[in-house]
Amino acid sequence: MHPKRGGLTPDDLRLGAAARLAAIATLYGEDDPAKAAAALAVHGELPFATWQLRYRDDASPITLVRRTLAAEVRAEVAPLEATLAGSDEDGADDVLALLGDAAELVTLSLAPGDVEGIGWAVALAVAATIAERGGGLVQADGDGYLEPEGRSLVHVLDGD
């Protein structure tokens, strides 16, 4: 088991995402992340399987689904590996190594309205909190592969 993994609670996730939201929101040109950070609420049972997150009252929840069955993980990871196979881009080998070692993954499902504005920054702050806890990466459509660093994210590799 990875030393940081295990024991993630809804409150851990809320606090971790709120702590990094300002830095990540700045990367995406969002001005006022404090309101979203204050409204963050994560609902779900332990152990983490399916949780829902809200960052404002009128928004659909962001759904988080954790997969740990080897066959499910491989089914999600294989297409990502195929896309990167043979790439000579800096960072590709590192990403491929992490993908090859993947033992779990978490997918976030956002409503179309969440992809714009502060919703995207919230999703990335949540993903960064989970990735840091598990020693992994964030793969975000349109942003490629990102690595948590401090309270922010660092671009590792294009994914498109």
The winner for highest mean pLDDT among 16-25, 82-91, 105-114 is 16-25
Please check whether residue 103 lies inside any domain of the structure: yes
CA 61 to chain centroid, in Å, comes to 15
pLDDT computed for residue 160 by the predictor: 56
- Using one digit for the tens of pLDDT, what is the confidence trace for 32-63? 899 999 999 999 999 899 999 999 887 789 99
Mean pLDDT, range 78-102, rounded to an integer: 92
pLDDT computed for residue 4 by the predictor: 44
The answer to whether residue 1 scores a pLDDT higher than 50 is: no
Please check whether residue 38 lies inside any domain of the structure: yes
In terms of residue numbers, what domain contains 34? 10-157
Residue with tokens 């409204």: 39
End-to-end CA distance of the chain: 31
Burial class (CB in 10 A: 0-12, 13-18, 19+), 85: exposed
Please check whether residue 92 lies inside any domain of the structure: yes
Please check whether residue 29 lies inside any domain of the structure: yes
pLDDT computed for residue 6 by the predictor: 55
Please check whether residue 142 lies inside any domain of the structure: yes
The answer to whether residue 151 scores a pLDDT higher than 60 is: yes
3: confidence class by pLDDT, cuts 50, 70, 90: very low
5: confidence class by pLDDT, cuts 50, 70, 90: very low
More confident call, 28 vs 146: 146
CB-CB neighbours of 36 under 10 Å: 24
pLDDT computed for residue 116 by the predictor: 80
Tokens matching residue 27 = 């990367």
Quote the CA–CA distance of 19 and 125 in Å, as a whole number: 8
Please give the model's pTM, rounded to 2 decimal places. 0.89
Residue pair 68/106 in contact (Cβ under 8 Å)? The answer is no
Please check whether residue 5 lies inside any domain of the structure: no
More confident call, 2 vs 46: 46
Tokens matching residue 40 = 């963050």
Please check whether residue 3 lies inside any domain of the structure: no
pLDDT computed for residue 39 by the predictor: 92
Residue pair 62/110 in contact (Cβ under 8 Å)? The answer is yes
Domains contained in the chain, number: 1
Please check whether residue 1 lies inside any domain of the structure: no
Length of the chain: 160
Q: Angle of helix 70-84 relative to helix 92-100, nearest 10 degrees?
A: 160
